[in-house]
Amino acid sequence: MAVTKTEVVSARVPPDVKAALSAAAEVERRSVASMLEVMVLSYCREHGIAAAAIKVAGKAGLRPPRK
């Protein structure tokens, strides 16, 4: 089943960061939004941030605890 995406993220970044994100998305044949999602989830996996902790923190407006 497909995940319903309802949240909007907006951030200001330097031009070189935007260019790097766009280049990564192009190499992976993804949209910039999809590439950003992949990168964030990869970071969370690598740093032991569980999906459940992310959901709880997001609902409470808090950052998940650092390990």
Residue 2: pLDDT over 80: no
Contacts of residue 48, defined as CB under 8 A and 6 or more positions apart, other chains included, come to: 67
pLDDT tens, 22-53? 999 999 999 999 999 999 989 988 888 886 65
Confidence (pTM): 0.68
Structure token digits, residue 22: 């766009």
Tell me the three state secondary structure of residue 37.
helix
Q: In whole angstroms, how far apart are CA 24 and each of 31, 32, 49, 63, 67?
A: 10, 8, 23, 27, 28
Question: Where would I find the H helices in the chain?
Answer: 15-27, 32-46, 51-60
